[in-house]
Structure 1
C-alpha cells in the first residue's frame, strides 16, 4: 500500500521533515513519520552523490590548473635551445616508450615517440619564434616513410620476379600513397601524444 504522505511531504523542507520524523508527542501518525524518514534518507543519498561528483570535478580542475602552472613555454624553449645542432636526445617515458628530440637547425626541432609502430607515425616539428613563443605542427616522418615504402616495394618485387606472385609491376607504385595515407591517418593521435610528452619532459620547471 502506497504511503499517501510521501507525495504530500515531498515539497517540505528537510527541517520540517526532521521535525515530523522525530515526533515523540504523538502529533503525527506512524505513516507520516515513516514518509518523512524515507524522504530525508532519499535526499541525503542524492546530496552525497552530488557532493561526490562535485568533489571529483573540483579535483580535476585543480589537477588541470596545477599542470598548466607547471608547464612554462620559456622552459621548453630554453631546454630545446640548449641542444647541440644535428643531435638527437632520448628520454624514457613512463609507459616504456622513448621520446626522441632532434635539433634540425637554429629554429626547428623534431620530436617523435619511438615504438615498433613509430615508423608509420608522423613527427612533431617545433619552430621557435622568440624567447617565449613557438609553434608546433605535424609533419611526415620521411625516414620511416622511405623505409616502409621501399621495404614493401622490394618485397613485392622479389615475390613477383621469382614467380610467387603474379602482379603487375606498376602496382608497386601504390605502396607509396598507401604508406603516406597511414601517416596521415595516425597524425592526430601521434601529434597529441608526442606534444604532451614533449611539454611534460622539456617544459616543466624542475
Structure 2
C-alpha cells in the first residue's frame, strides 16, 4: 500500500521515485491501475524527450547549414535585438570565429571558435581576439617605444610591454563571461528557421 501511495502521489514524489515504486509493485506481482497510469506517464515522458532531442538536432543542423553557407575567408553579420552584431567569420572548411561586435565598447573582447564535427554537431571554445592583440597590444607597444625614444615617457622596460599585457589580460579576464554570452546569441540567432 505504501508503494502504491508513492506511485500515486505526484505532488510529493519525483517521477523517478514513482516509477521505482511501480517497478517494485510489478516485481511483487501486485495488480493496480496506478501501474498502468504511471507507465503511460513514462511513455509520454519518453516521447516528449525524443521529440525535444529531435527538435534540438534539427536546430543544430539548421545552424550548421547556415554557417556553412559563409564562403571561406568570408564574414556574415547578424543583427541582434540589443543593437549589437553577431559576426561569424569562416577560416576554412570547418573552423569559424564568432564574436559580438559591440559598437560602444570597442573590439577588446575575446571570441568563440566553432569547429564543425559533422552535419549536426559542433565544438565551441573561447579564444583570444588576435586582431585586438595586434592593434592594441602590438600597436600600443610600438607607440610606447616611439614615445620613449622621443623622450615623452620614461625609458622603462616594463612600460614597453604594458599595452600587450593589458590587452591579453583584459581578454583572459573576460573570457569565461563573454564565451557564454556569445554562445547564447550564436545559438539563439542562428537556430531560427
Structures share fold, TM-score greater than 0.5: yes
Matched, 1:152 2:143: no
Give the deviation of 1:170 after TM superposition: 5.0
C-alpha RMSD of the superposition: 2.2
> Which runs of no fewer than 5 residues in structure 2 stay unpaired?
1-51
Q: 1:71 to 1:94 in 2, by over 3 A?
A: farther
Give the deviation of 1:169 after TM superposition: 4.2
Whether contact under 8 Å (1:93, 1:99) holds in the other structure is yes
TM-score (norm 2): 0.65
Distance in 2, matches of 1:156 and 1:171, equals 7
- Specify the SS of the correspondent of 2:115: strand
Whether contact under 8 Å (1:71, 1:200) holds in the other structure is no
TM-score (norm 1): 0.61
Give the deviation of 1:71 after TM superposition: 7.7
Equivalent positions of 1:72-91 (< 5 A) are: 72-91=59-78
Count of residues in Structure 1 that have an aligned counterpart in Structure 2? 139
> Which runs of no fewer than 5 residues in structure 1 stay unpaired?
1-64
Partner deviation per Cα, 1:161-180 (whole Å, 9 max, x = no partner): 23222232453124323321
Equivalent positions of 1:41-120 (< 5 A) are: 72-115=59-102, 116-120=104-108
Whether contact under 8 Å (2:112, 2:179) holds in the other structure is yes
Aligned to 1:133: 121
Give the deviation of 1:151 after TM superposition: 2.7
- Larger Cα-atom Rg: 1
Q: 1:161 to 1:185 in 2, by over 3 A?
A: same
- Specify the SS of the correspondent of 2:132: helix
Partner deviation per Cα, 1:141-195 (whole Å, 9 max, x = no partner): 1111110112322332233223222232453124323321111101012111111
Matched, 1:163 2:151: yes
Partner deviation per Cα, 1:26-75 (whole Å, 9 max, x = no partner): xxxxxxxxxxxxxxxxxxxxxxxxxxxxxxxxxxxxxxx9xx86981111
- Specify the SS of the correspondent of 1:86: coil
Equivalent positions of 1:2-17 (< 5 A) are: none
Whether contact under 8 Å (1:71, 1:199) holds in the other structure is no
Whether contact under 8 Å (2:111, 2:179) holds in the other structure is yes
Whether contact under 8 Å (2:140, 2:164) holds in the other structure is no
